[in-house]
Amino acid sequence: MHAYDICGRVLESDMALPELAAPSGAPAGAPLTFAHRLPAVPGDGWFTIWFRPDGLPWVRAARTPSGYHVQYCNCAEFSLDLARREIAGAAIDCATEMFRHFLVDQVVPLMLSVDEIVLHASAVSIDGGLAAFIGAGGSGKSTIAMALSRLGQAIASDDGLVVVEENGGVSGIPAYAGIRLWPDSEALLATGLRGFGRPHRRAKQRFREGLTFAGTEPLTHIYLLSPDGAPSVAFEPLSPRDAAVELLRQCFRLALDDRGALARQLDRLTSIARGVSAWRLTAPRTLADAPSLAAAVRRHVQSTRRPAARAAATIR
């Protein structure tokens, strides 16, 4: 068995996962296990988690006696045992790298989302606190995180950030050390870095070597990236209510068939939104502007840190 660090937990796997690093430090939660085998498919009760751009189901799930079955239509199958914290799965018709991407970047966060808050967010560490970036796919979350890393900031997360309330504050637990970039962002921001794990030539490339990564830190800022371009960089504060709604849209959610679970998730997000500065970020959509946008974000974080967050960062 192999052992890896993901979302503050140890994942024991009978399949090698080069996307992940070996465990370091004390885990924050109970261990997970993964077995590489094809699970039995339930007969009915399906609901869609994510749709394709053409409106057809892409990822769907069904309740099972032990948890959920997650199906990437015609690509891969996963069975999630929630009580045992076990995942079993295998590819149907996809490359090994893509299958591992499903497992590491989506299935594990989906499993944890039943009991925890897991944001689909990129995040970086700035002055001892995390700034997280949320938004629709293609809004530039990974690009801005990588641009900030080129300014000397440590990357915390790319696709997944576990958010917890503890000791009167809000903290972010990164999924793993790594970041994935589209080819155009790679050409601009990853010069001199060696990537690995591109499933096919038009997919994102993974990067880890030569970069600095952060661990668990206070979550101080959340930025909602606007998909619409703007002539200049602008930061608009979000109310806690509006921030909670946006966070709900950008959460991993598996238990879509459980209204009680969704209500509890919204309650927790409302509480989290009251403890973090949230902003709508609009900026030019030109990729060449990414470095200057990153510099503007860093200045904004440093100028809007709440006194309590500054004190906590100093104590740490």
Strand order of the β-sheet with 46-51 is: 2-6, 9-13, 32-36, 86-91, 76-81, 67-72, 57-64, 46-51
Structure tokens given for 223: 């930025």
pLDDT digits (tens, 9 = 90+) for 263-274: 899 999 999 999
Residue 307: predicted pLDDT: 59
CATH number of the domain to which 305 belongs: 3.40.50.300
Q: Are residues 70 and 147 in the same domain?
A: no
Q: Are residues 160 and 24 in the same domain?
A: no
- Domain, as residue range, for 124: 119-315
Q: Are residues 182 and 255 in the same domain?
A: yes
Residues of the chain with pLDDT > 90: what percent? 73
Q: Are residues 258 and 160 in the same domain?
A: yes
Q: Are residues 161 and 88 in the same domain?
A: no
Q: What is the DSSP string of 57-100?
A: EEEEEEEETTEEEEEETTTEEEEEETTTTEEEEEESSS-HHHHH
Residues of the chain with pLDDT > 70: what percent? 95
Contact predicate 35/46, CB 8 Å = no
- Predicted confidence band of residue 44 (pLDDT cuts 50, 70, 90): confident
Q: Is residue 308 predicted with pLDDT exceeding 80? A: no
pLDDT digits (tens, 9 = 90+) for 117-139: 999 999 999 999 999 999 988 88
Q: Are residues 77 and 126 in the same domain?
A: no
List, in order, residues 6 or more apart from 265 with CB less than 8 Å away: 113, 117, 248, 251, 253
Q: Are residues 69 and 188 in the same domain?
A: no
- Predicted confidence band of residue 229 (pLDDT cuts 50, 70, 90): confident
Q: Is residue 314 predicted with pLDDT exceeding 70? A: no
Q: Which of 112, 133, 149 marks a domain boundary?
A: 112
Mean pLDDT of 271-283: 95
- Could you identify the residue written with the tokens 């096919």? 200
Q: Are residues 168 and 84 in the same domain?
A: no
Residue 311: predicted pLDDT: 40
Decide the pairing of beta strands 32-36 and 9-13: parallel
Q: How far apart are CA 253 and CA 199, in angstroms?
A: 25
Q: Which of 80, 97, 112 marks a domain boundary?
A: 112
Q: Are residues 132 and 46 in the same domain?
A: no
Q: Is residue 312 predicted with pLDDT exceeding 50? A: no
Q: Are residues 139 and 156 in the same domain?
A: yes
Q: Are residues 156 and 240 in the same domain?
A: yes
pLDDT digits (tens, 9 = 90+) for 175-227: 999 999 998 999 999 988 998 877 666 678 899 999 999 999 999 999 999 88
- What is the overall mean pLDDT for the chain? 91
**How many domains does one find in the chain?**
2
Residue 202: predicted pLDDT: 67
Q: Which of 73, 97, 112 marks a domain boundary?
A: 112
Q: Are residues 162 and 282 in the same domain?
A: yes
Mean pLDDT of 21-32: 82
CA distances from 27 to 23, 30, 31 (A): 8, 8, 8
- Predicted confidence band of residue 315 (pLDDT cuts 50, 70, 90): very low
